[in-house]
Amino acid sequence: MAQLAPFHLANWIEGNKDKAKYVLGGSAAPSISPDDLLSLSTDPAATERALHFRSIKMNNGSRQGAKELRTQIASMYNEDISAANVVTATGTTGANLTVFQSLLRAGDHVVCQYPTYPQLLGLPESFGCDISYWKLDPARGWQPSIDELRGLIRPATKMIILNNPSNPTGVHLDGTLQRQILDVARDHNLVVFADEIFRPLFHGPPGGASASVPSLVEHNGYSRVVVTSSMSKVWGMSGVRIGWIVSRDRDILDLVLNTRQYTVMSTGVIDEVVATEVLSPRCRPQILQRHLDYARKNLALLEAFVKKNSDMCSWTRPTAGAIAFVKFSHPPAADDDVEFCSQLLAEDGVLVSPGSLCFSTDGQRDFPGYVRVHFTVAPEYMEEALGVVDGFLAKRRKGGTVTSRL
């Protein structure tokens, strides 16, 4: 395994969040406490009993993860998925690492959706894989071309790597495009991997109902599919270090379980208990609805902001997830998104994430002028933050002073 490339996104957020009054650089829903969980539960007494830890045996737990937890995870997919198809992991970060360690080798060729979450490029690269980029097209609403995917396949191709819904663009692959991807994979006997950490946060088009979008693992007819997710982005439980791996392919699951024995062995039993309760029928719907409400209200605010400042910014309105990729293309950024984000933080205390730094391949400068903005925060917080950014742009229109980069 070669040296990993710098993780610019995490470094940017962690290095700057303590300087900010408004943190819109991340992507996880606001953290939920046990008291919050009790207030959201339809049966607080049952939730309180479930979170009573004093009698829990502090052992290694199950080799595959607690069955109760895996059953709740499986219930978020269709009837083809059962607890037997689920393996727990240490967050999505650990789930992704486990899958790649299990299935990829030096010299393998992979096709990766781009832009994407940096880990999905950095890990295969460090394993010695050759990577081709399946580029999302901003001119097409950040949708990729299936014909371009077909053209990227080689004899050495082993895997198609997806992030659905997409980080940083906030768009998703609909069921039709998913089936087309699986057809390509079937033709070449490829593994389809999808980091689905923002599923099921589908807030739909303006004025529409929440979209019903399948997981890649739910499609019949091709089983060499593996998806991952965790407790962080949708469920507000980043500190509960539980993620999961789901596949209908027994060979893939056996390889994953073997790697798990060499690495994490098991996940924390208290984390498993908390995650099981969060994903239970008495808690899960209320948490999801709260964060969908945040997303819809804040997207309306963000849409109004972009419209008001259309001389300076543009976007593709997200359909899923927790983030938007906004392009600033006038003197405030002048295509230097890092300078723009640094000035916004230094002058007005708003942290957002620069696209060219955080989502380009190392050494490149793709996505100049793009800024990732997190919107599953409390609406009053979002409104205040956007008001500050609006004032920042107004100063730039008047030729305000430019500070040095942080």
Query: How far apart (Å, rounded) are the C-alpha atoms in residues 392 and 313?
Result: 13
In a domain, 45, yes or no: no
As a whole number, the mean pLDDT across the chain is 93
Residue 19's nearest CA partner among 267, 345, 282 is 345
Cis-peptide, bond into residue 115, ω within 30° of zero: yes
132 is a domain residue: yes
In the chain the first and final C-alpha atoms are separated, in Å, by 33
Same domain, 137 and 273: yes
Asked if the structure places residue 43 within a domain, the reply is no
Tell me, what amino acid is at 262?
A: Y
Is the same domain home to 268 and 299? Answer: no
| pLDDT higher than 50, residue 402 | no
pLDDT of residue 210: 45
Which pLDDT tens digit goes with each residue over 175-218?
999 999 999 999 999 999 999 999 999 997 544 444 579 999 99
Which residue, 234, 253, 280, sits at the end of a domain? 280
Output the pTM of the full model.
0.94
Domain encompassing residue 152: 52-280
Same domain, 94 and 242: yes
Write the CB contacts of 391 (distance below 8 Å, at least 6 apart in sequence): 348
Residue 180: HSE in the Cβ half-sphere, 13 Å Cα cutoff: 12
Q: Which residues contact 236 (CB under 8 A, 6 or more apart)?
A: 28, 29, 30, 31, 32, 36, 287, 291
Closest by alpha carbon to 143, among 112, 183, 110, 170? Answer: 170
Reference 183, options 167, 160, 202, 163; nearest CA is: 160
Question: 233 and 289, same structural domain?
Answer: no
Do the domain assignments include residue 403?
Answer: no
pLDDT tens-digit profile of 63-120?
A: 899 999 999 999 999 999 999 999 999 999 999 999 999 999 999 999 999 999 999 9
Q: What pLDDT is recorded for position 334?
A: 60
Q: Are residues 297 and 360 in the same domain?
A: yes
* Domains: count for the chain: 2
What value, to the nearest 5°, has the Cα angle with vertex 362 and ends 359 and 363? 120
Task: Assign residue 328 the CATH number of its domain.
Answer: 3.90.1150.10
Query: In the predicted model, what is the mean pLDDT of residues 289-308?
Result: 97
At residue 403, does pLDDT exceed 70? Answer: no
In a domain, 42, yes or no: no
Q: How far apart are CA 12 and CA 126, in angstroms?
A: 21
Which range among 215-219, 273-277, 342-346, 364-368 shows the weakest confidence by mean pLDDT?
Answer: 364-368
Structure confidence at residue 54 (pLDDT): 86
345 and 386: one domain? yes
Map residue 196 onto helix, strand or coil: coil
From 280, 300, 325, give the residue that closes a domain: 280
Compute the distance between CA of residue 93 and CA of residue 132 in angstroms, rounded to an integer.
22
Question: pLDDT tier at 21 (50, 70, 90 boundaries)?
Answer: very high
Kindly state whether residue 183 falls inside one of the protein's structural domains: yes
Residues 6+ away with beta carbon under 8 Å from 27: 167, 198, 233, 321, 322, 323, 372, 374, 376
5: pLDDT strictly greater than 80 = yes
Q: Cβ–Cβ contacts within 10 Å for residue 8, how many?
A: 18
Q: What does DSSP say about strands 22-23 and 350-351: parallel, antiparallel, or unpaired?
A: parallel
Q: Is residue 103 part of a domain?
A: yes
Q: Domain check: are 121 and 258 in the same one?
A: yes
Last residue of a domain, one of 280, 300, 332: 280
Can you tell me the mean pLDDT for 141-162? Answer: 98
Q: In the structure, what pLDDT confidence band is assigned to residue 401 with cuts at 50, 70 and 90?
A: very low
Q: Are residues 111 and 257 in the same domain?
A: yes
Distance (Å, rounded) from C-alpha 280 to C-alpha 288? Answer: 12
Residues 56 and 28 placed together within one structural domain of the fold: no
Distance CA(292)–CA(202), nearest Å, equals 8
Looking at the fold, whether 92 and 150 belong to one and the same domain comes out as: yes
In a domain, 402, yes or no: no
Q: Which of 172, 173, 126, 125 is nearest to 146 (CA)?
A: 173
E strands of 316-359, at which residues? 323-328, 350-351, 353-354
Percentage of the chain exceeding pLDDT 70: 95
Q: 101 and 248 share a domain? A: yes
Mean pLDDT for 301-323 is 96
Please tell me whether residues 346 and 263 are part of one structural domain: no
